[in-house]
Amino acid sequence: MNATIEAKPARRALPPLMSLTDGAAERLKGLYAKGEQGKFLRIAVKTKGCSGLAYDLSWVDAPSAGDESVTDKDVTVLVDRKATLFLIGTVMDYEVKTMSAGFTFTNPNEKGRCGCGESFHV
């Protein structure tokens, strides 16, 4: 009797949950070193705006049981577990413009944004 063992196909690697640009990492390092020392930036997605979803950033003292920890460029941010499916593959940046500065997100899961840019949908 000949028995053959078939190898399972290799699983495709999942993209990282999130990554940070150099600008975002440097800004977060500065914030962590000064006024937000000992805290974590927590990223969530909330129902808001005309398109339905918006990024929600808050400072927390410690991770919650449902938070995913993302470390990139020696910086750690927390991601609300309920937001992970919306954020897989997202790149977080920090942009300085003439009249504004802030964190921005390039999210491959977004299907569209509202006209004012406050919210998105997947």
pLDDT score at 118:
60
Contact 121, 51 (CB under 8 A): yes
Q: Where in the sequence is the domain holding 96, given as residue range(s)?
A: 22-108
Contact 69, 63 (CB under 8 A): yes
Number of domains composing the chain = 1
Does 121 reside within a domain?
Answer: no
CATH number of the CATH domain containing 39: 2.60.300.12
Does 87 reside within a domain?
Answer: yes
Does 117 reside within a domain?
Answer: no
| Rounded Cα gap, residues 110 and 122, in angstroms | 5
Does 97 reside within a domain?
Answer: yes
Mean pLDDT, rounded, for 32-61: 85
Does 27 reside within a domain?
Answer: yes
Closest CA to 20 of 32, 34, 4, 9: 32
Does 12 reside within a domain?
Answer: no
Per-residue pLDDT of 61-104, as tens digits, reads 999 998 999 999 999 999 999 989 888 899 999 999 888 889 98
Contact 61, 38 (CB under 8 A): yes
| Residue 20, burial from CB neighbour count under 10 angstroms (0-12, 13-18, 19+) | buried
State the pTM of this model.
0.78
**Residue 47 binned pLDDT confidence (cut-offs 50, 70, 90):** confident
The size of the chain, in residues, is 122
Question: Which two tokens mark 53?
Answer: 């979803």
Does 118 reside within a domain?
Answer: no
Does 70 reside within a domain?
Answer: yes
